A and B are shown apart, each in its own frame.
Chain A
């Protein structure tokens, strides 16, 4: 472990005692984290005792930055990735006191989303370490702030991908917080107070009530956790792009965490559902377990040809690069191809099919808070939950490896409540 003095010295070595540290708090913080994580001593630099004192004073005065476990008053514990290797390990940190609009809850389960995997390895280039992932968080309320109206101690609640937004832009005022340019992610993002957010692979959670949803008692908590990201990510575009009409034919590309939820929701909305997949061995489960109406192997030209122009919409959950042309061919005129997977490279967009059939290729990203609650209530009404494999938190690194190989039916859910403390 790096001592406080070494930490300061490393800061100075980074060479950047900024002129206006208040404005550079985030860079300081990142620099400080990197310095701390690198550990070790510095060759060739000696500071006098006086200089060390000065640096410490400077830091205390100017920086809001503290070590994670000193930032906030509540002791918290979780598993974090320390660097781009993405390996998760026990991590002590802290959570803020319950503010007047906050809801604090004991985390019982947290779903593992493929985004967690991208983020722990910094695949999108915006990760801050140490990083506690997890944005499919469910638990039981332990404390509510004085101005909280919707929740009480003992309620079953969940938090998804967002914990804050600006509340005042066009998107926020239209219940579209997920499209707010200042939307704050549940983990690895900067909160209003300048501290970094930590996600649900942890024992407790504190969130503004606006970003908390109520989970009806009829839903089992573990199998409900994935609704908070996977569920809303497919529910929202089914509604927005008008694919929720009974009798519509909806295609779902990819049968993983998102895909299997899309099949369930689309069936509940009255659609005929065809699963499109590269794996012929998923046919049995698509039809028997998930009640899809049919199954198409995407690499089988004959099957694809036979299905040309038959679908009103397609929800494409695959994040790996793949050709869009065969998918646009499956659409009827005026059909819509909706992308919810997030690939690293751009796709090739053939223009002719779009024009000749007035087809649309659109995207969608989770959903607003109002719609997320609506989705949870819809799921409760239709008995929709996620197909999950519950794991102890110690298994999380293995689970990440298996997730990379799509070796799970269809979501891992960490049993936080029963296994996190014992892993300290």
Chain B
């Protein structure tokens, strides 16, 4: 993750000093200390989702300190350590916003590459400062370090929210986590804190040691080991699938017990193949989830602070960002940057 500084103009990422709008009554100005590098930043920069508007300043795992507050801001004061995640606005009036589900508001505004309420583009956290509506800023708990805590603002909430929504918080239940990257490794830690038995499912056998010893997973399955996969058939209550590459769902569905749930969080660029028989014969389901609402994001941070959960990070300088993006693309690193 990048320690921000004066922005530069590297090859693919247009670092930019964030627009200096006047602080509105609801706004909080933040000096950015750290910003996590999310795989979504990579997808966006390289226009892999086809919706990039350049210049594009990515970054939605932002930790910083408050430098200025608008006249209506009561929740924060100058000097507070705060976080900004994937959203910076929503309509505030629809049924989703009213239920603290801003992430499902049809008009929610993303932290970067989106259109803000005033018609201008939003620029994200690879920058030295940002101005955000107070409703989209969270307190960063004292117990959480800024650098290792930043990824929680996207990766953390992305796995925490479905664990709660799909009922994965009953101690003793068995959760499989597919993929041991930024999302996966945080998911292991949060799942263990919920008291779940965790099996990591990965295509890389060399990740077993870190899964078990470093992250505390209970077991490790190599997904292309047919024998081991067969032995695990019908053993899991839930699976969280963090893999964004196109991959087969059938073997994962078979790992679920009847009434099991497969929750997919990765965003592949092509549809996946869904075999119907296992769904019907076992009453299984495949669901999705997209980050979490602001209330839940704060709840998640407090939970992680309480359980000492942070991400495993590699801190980089701003000018190392393109190399970092390449490494992320090649998945050479063992966990999130």
- Show the binding face of A for B, using Cβ within 8 Å: 170-171, 176, 179, 181, 240, 324-325, 333-334, 336, 339-343, 346-365
A-side binding surface: helix, strand, loop or mixed?
A: mixed
Please choose the segment from B8-16, B124-132, B272-280 that sits at the chain A interface, where 4 or more of its residues have CB less than 8 A away: B272-280
B286 at interface by CB-CB < 8 Å: yes
Is the pair B283, A349 in contact by a Cβ cutoff of 8 Å? no
* Interface residues on chain B, number (Cβ under 8 Å): 35
Select one of B104, B250, B283, B287 contacting A365, CB under 8 A.
B283
Residues of A within 8 A of B275 (CB): 346-347
Is the pair B281, A365 in contact by a Cβ cutoff of 8 Å? yes
Known contacts A333-B96, A334-B104, A351-B288; A362 and B279 CB within 8 A of each other: yes
Select one of A349, A350, A351, A358 contacting B104, CB under 8 A.
A358
Quick one: closest A residue to B278, CB to CB? A363
* Known A342-B280, A351-B288; further 20 A-B contacts with Cβ < 8 A: A170-B257, A171-B259, A176-B259, A181-B234, A339-B279, A346-B276, A347-B273, A347-B275, A349-B286, A351-B266, A352-B267, A355-B264, A358-B104, A358-B290, A359-B287, A362-B284, A363-B279, A363-B285, A364-B283, A365-B280
Residues of A within 8 A of B266 (CB): 351
B271 at interface by CB-CB < 8 Å: yes
Residues of A within 8 A of B17 (CB): none
Please encode chain B, from 67 to 111, with 1 for each CB lying within 8 Å of some chain A CB and 0 for all others.
000000000000000000000000000001000010010000000
Residues of A within 8 A of B234 (CB): 181
Q: Which of B228-282 contact A (CB under 8 A)?
A: 234, 249-250, 257-259, 264-268, 271-282
Is the pair B258, A358 in contact by a Cβ cutoff of 8 Å? no
Known contacts A354-B286, A361-B286, A363-B282; A349 and B165 CB within 8 A of each other: no
Query: How close is A183's CB to chain B, nearest CB, in angstroms?
Result: 10
Query: How close is A212's CB to chain B, nearest CB, in angstroms?
Result: 23
Query: How close is B283's CB to chain A, nearest CB, in angstroms?
Result: 5
Q: Count A/B pairs, Cβ under 8 Å.
A: 113
B289 at interface by CB-CB < 8 Å: yes
Query: How close is B231's CB to chain A, nearest CB, in angstroms?
Result: 15
Residues of B within 8 A of A179 (CB): 258-259, 281-283
Q: Which of A179, A341, A353 has the most CB of B within 10 A?
A: A179
Is the pair B280, A348 in contact by a Cβ cutoff of 8 Å? no
Query: How close is A258's CB to chain B, nearest CB, in angstroms?
Result: 12
Alpha-carbon distance between A364 and B165 when the two chains are bound, in angstroms: 20
Is the pair B280, A356 in contact by a Cβ cutoff of 8 Å? no
Is the pair A355, B273 in contact by a Cβ cutoff of 8 Å? no
Is the pair B280, A349 in contact by a Cβ cutoff of 8 Å? no
Alpha-carbon distance between A181 and B254 when the two chains are bound, in angstroms: 13
